Structure 1
Amino acid sequence: MGAIRAKGKRFQADLRTPNGARLRPTFETHDEADHWLRLTQEKIRTGQDISLDVAQNTRAIAMNLRDLAEEVRNRHWRGCKSEDTLWIQARDVYRRLGASRSVREINENVIDDLIYQLERDGKSNGTINRRLAALSKMLKHGYRRGYISRMPVIERKRESEGRMRWLSYDEEQVLIAKFRELRQDQMADFIEVLIDTGLRTGELFKLCGRDVNAEERVVYLWDTKNGKSRSVPLTQRAMDALQRNHKIDSSLPLFAFTRHAFRHQWDLVKSLIGLDGDKEFVPHSLRHTCATRLVEKGIDLRVIQEFLGHRAIQTTIRYAKVVPKSLHAARDALELSDHGVTKRA
């Protein structure tokens, strides 16, 4: 009524049900296959319903990478902020490995081949890791649903922290002046707010008049990257910039231009001020500028973490590593401390 056969390095149980359906799940060990076979035979002998076993086995055999990606999207990613990005990652994975390829074929060798393809196409380690993360999510879902009998080992690529770019005060003045010279005053205001608050561009684009408390000089952010709302105090310059863009309808965003329009104008101004070849000179560098200036002023890292809305303190610590002044201050504090030891002349 049932049998177990070696299939490569794994073992396949083979069982035909009374109604003619054939179940052939694959297991890592002979004992696992034997356990499943005995359990299912007992269900049949005692008249228990095995329709779920049949359906699951049939679906597992038929499950391919594209169907798995779509199932993960609907089950885990639908409606989340990163849905489109995650789907792009997953879609690239199944297109490279084969959309109709069985999920059961995915092992370490197949994953190595995926990494090779991505490296051959010049993808960075960070990009490769994003693809591997999407594949890992898909396979974990498949493992929990019984589509695969084991979870392949996925080794991520090592990522460097990369260069962190921020603006000097001179660069800031030149940048803002050029925007105003081109009569892009609203975008110049946008930049001033980003520098003085450290907001992400996406957070500022969502900011409405009702989110600004002029009396307390603070903005309230309800929809943030880490999912936690926070309030950010405003400098007078940032407050003035927001008030210049205040709408009669407080439910409308303060800045009416699109992200595409801002990025287009940014790239134009970047070229005009002679920074066209600086790949790190991007809008997000304004957030880096705010963070590094706070570190330079000696603000406690925990305060900076809360101010910027970092989920982990490790993200904030990166700024302390790249601001020499803060390291020098630590040295000077030790030099000036009185430990009862006479300093050498």
Structure 2
Amino acid sequence: MARIKERTSKDGSIRYTAEIRLKGFPTQSATFKRKTDAKRWIQDTESAIREGRHFKTVEAKKHTLAELVDRCINDVLPIKSATLKRDQTTQLSWFKDEIGAFTLADINPAVITQCRDKLLTEIGQRGKVRTPASVVRYMAALSHAFTIAVNEWQWLEDSPMRKVKKPKEPRGRVRFLEDDDRARLLQACKESSNELLYICVILALSTGMRQGELMNLKWSDVNLKDRYIILHETKNEERRRVPLTGHALELLQEHAKVKRLDTSLLFPGKTHKDKPIDLRKPFETALKRAEITDFRWHDLRHCTASYLAMNGASSAEIAEILGHKTLQMVKRYAHLSDGHVSSVIESMNAKIFGGA
């Protein structure tokens, strides 16, 4: 049921108050200068209520993006890994600074697109223009927040991120060391004044662990008897079991004999025992001595994946070892296993066609 009340204000002007009463829903009302506007509002609002759209729109007008970000940081991020919590707090806070005053109803694809374009041209925390890959991560953090607001909090009917195009990322970097380069680097690490550099580089190469995963290892994560490490905090928030074998296992067994008793960390810092050691400068020095350029710590992980591919490991096996949820990330190494693929095809053809 809907009705329109005509009222005369103190200044003599006429106002029309439209009121909608539908069973099972709270009363809705609005005031207009023209009766035709009141009638149109009744038609649109009744239709929206019956289709379940109206109250979601009302909720979107009640909440700002700043409220959305604050609730995510306080209620959602604490259950994520420390790395994800830190990164997504930074990413969401950027959007809060830019468009935090906007109500969720006012945030549309055009607004998000402006933010995307600014992210692509703005100098980031490291003093450089953000890469497309970095901007994609910013957008992913905001998209996740909107998805929660839609599905769980019902602050929105739909996410405005759906129609926003992500920046095109360049092809994944594949930088690995040839045998001679690897030998020189390992020798330089062994000769480093930092006694932990060599074992950390060996572990990184032999396991494919990310730098954060490796440096934050605790002795409680290591099982030398059964030869494995359990990673509790990973990038994809899933526990991962990392096998220990060969030289890496031998070094870790020796390291366990001289472990510090005042900290739980495998590789504690010299100044702060409860913070991981910073190997950035020793690693850079080792690279210079080994005459290796254009190489970063994360490329040790690329080395692991590349060596696995060249030794016949499948994409699924590489993904499992490195901790990737999908095979997309390991496709960059596919060309390195061409020899293995060729041998598989050759074997298949021999069985089918024989000597023909």
TM-score, structure 2 length as denominator? 0.72
3-state SS of 1:245 partner? helix
**1:132 to 1:34, Cα distance in 2 relative to 1, 3 A:** same
3-state SS of 2:340 partner? helix
- Please give the alpha-carbon distance, in whole angstroms, between the structure 2 residues aligned to 1:95 and 1:34: 37
Note if 1:340 corresponds to 2:335.
Answer: no
**Alignment equivalent of 2:341, drawn from 330, 338, 341:** 330
Residue number in structure 2 paired with 1:6 = none
Residue number in structure 1 paired with 2:117 = 116
- Residue-by-residue CA offset, 1:186-215 (whole Å, 9 max, x unaligned): 111111111112222222223334444434
- Please give the alpha-carbon distance, in whole angstroms, between the structure 2 residues aligned to 1:222 and 1:37: 47
- Please give the alpha-carbon distance, in whole angstroms, between the structure 2 residues aligned to 1:180 and 1:66: 50
Residue number in structure 1 paired with 2:332 = 318
Residue number in structure 1 paired with 2:103 = 102
Asked whether the equivalents of residues 190 and 241 of structure 1 are also in contact (C-alpha less than 8 Å), the reply is: no
Residue number in structure 1 paired with 2:132 = 125
Give the alignment of 1:248-287 within 5 angstroms.
249=261, 252-257=264-269, 259=276, 261-276=278-293, 278=294, 281-287=295-301
**1:30 to 1:284, Cα distance in 2 relative to 1, 3 A:** farther
- Residue-by-residue CA offset, 1:22-69 (whole Å, 9 max, x unaligned): 779xxxx98662146689xxxxxxxxxxxxx8xx95x75453222221
- Residue-by-residue CA offset, 1:290-330 (whole Å, 9 max, x unaligned): 22112211134433333333322333343223x1xx21332
Asked whether the equivalents of residues 15 and 37 of structure 1 are also in contact (C-alpha less than 8 Å), the reply is: no
Asked whether the equivalents of residues 242 and 254 of structure 1 are also in contact (C-alpha less than 8 Å), the reply is: no
- In the alignment, residue 151 of structure 1 is paired with which amino acid? S
Note if 1:84 corresponds to 2:77.
Answer: no
**1:250 to 1:242, Cα distance in 2 relative to 1, 3 A:** farther
- Residue-by-residue CA offset, 1:253-272 (whole Å, 9 max, x unaligned): 22223556212322333344
3-state SS of 1:113 partner? helix
Asked whether the equivalents of residues 166 and 292 of structure 1 are also in contact (C-alpha less than 8 Å), the reply is: yes
Note if 1:73 corresponds to 2:73.
Answer: yes
Give the alignment of 1:203-214 within 5 angstroms.
203-214=213-224
Moved more, 161-170 or 214-223: 214-223
Asked whether the equivalents of residues 209 and 251 of structure 1 are also in contact (C-alpha less than 8 Å), the reply is: no
- Please give the alpha-carbon distance, in whole angstroms, between the structure 1 residues aligned to 2:220 and 2:139: 41
TM-fit CA distance, 1:234: 2.4
- Please give the alpha-carbon distance, in whole angstroms, between the structure 2 residues aligned to 1:222 and 1:38: 47
Residue number in structure 2 paired with 1:47 = none
TM-fit CA distance, 1:249: 4.6
Asked whether the equivalents of residues 63 and 155 of structure 2 are also in contact (C-alpha less than 8 Å), the reply is: yes
- In the alignment, residue 77 of structure 1 is paired with which amino acid? L
Asked whether the equivalents of residues 210 and 251 of structure 1 are also in contact (C-alpha less than 8 Å), the reply is: no
3-state SS of 2:209 partner? coil
**Alignment equivalent of 2:239, drawn from 220, 229, 248:** 229
Structure 1's unaligned 5+ residue stretches are 4-13, 40-52
Asked whether the equivalents of residues 132 and 154 of structure 1 are also in contact (C-alpha less than 8 Å), the reply is: no
Moved more, 205-214 or 294-303: 205-214
3-state SS of 1:261 partner? coil
- Please give the alpha-carbon distance, in whole angstroms, between the structure 2 residues aligned to 1:101 and 1:151: 15
CA RMSD of aligned residues (A): 3.7
Residue number in structure 1 paired with 2:126 = none
Note if 1:139 corresponds to 2:150.
Answer: no
**Alignment equivalent of 1:242, drawn from 241, 245, 252:** 252
Residue number in structure 2 paired with 1:33 = 45
- Please give the alpha-carbon distance, in whole angstroms, between the structure 2 residues aligned to 1:148 and 1:221: 36
Q: Percent identity?
A: 24
Give the alignment of 1:7-22 within 5 angstroms.
none
- Please give the alpha-carbon distance, in whole angstroms, between the structure 2 residues aligned to 1:234 and 1:301: 21
TM-fit CA distance, 1:146: 5.0
**1:274 to 1:71, Cα distance in 2 relative to 1, 3 A:** same
Residue number in structure 2 paired with 1:10 = none
Note if 1:291 corresponds to 2:305.
Answer: yes
- Please give the alpha-carbon distance, in whole angstroms, between the structure 2 residues aligned to 1:115 and 1:125: 10
- Please give the alpha-carbon distance, in whole angstroms, between the structure 1 residues aligned to 2:101 and 2:19: 27
Asked whether the equivalents of residues 166 and 289 of structure 1 are also in contact (C-alpha less than 8 Å), the reply is: yes
**1:16 to 1:90, Cα distance in 2 relative to 1, 3 A:** farther
**Alignment equivalent of 1:175, drawn from 185, 191, 196:** 185
- Residue-by-residue CA offset, 1:99-131 (whole Å, 9 max, x unaligned): 323322211221222222223334322122222
Residue number in structure 2 paired with 1:185 = 195
- In the alignment, residue 249 of structure 2 is paired with which amino acid? M
Asked whether the equivalents of residues 65 and 100 of structure 2 are also in contact (C-alpha less than 8 Å), the reply is: yes
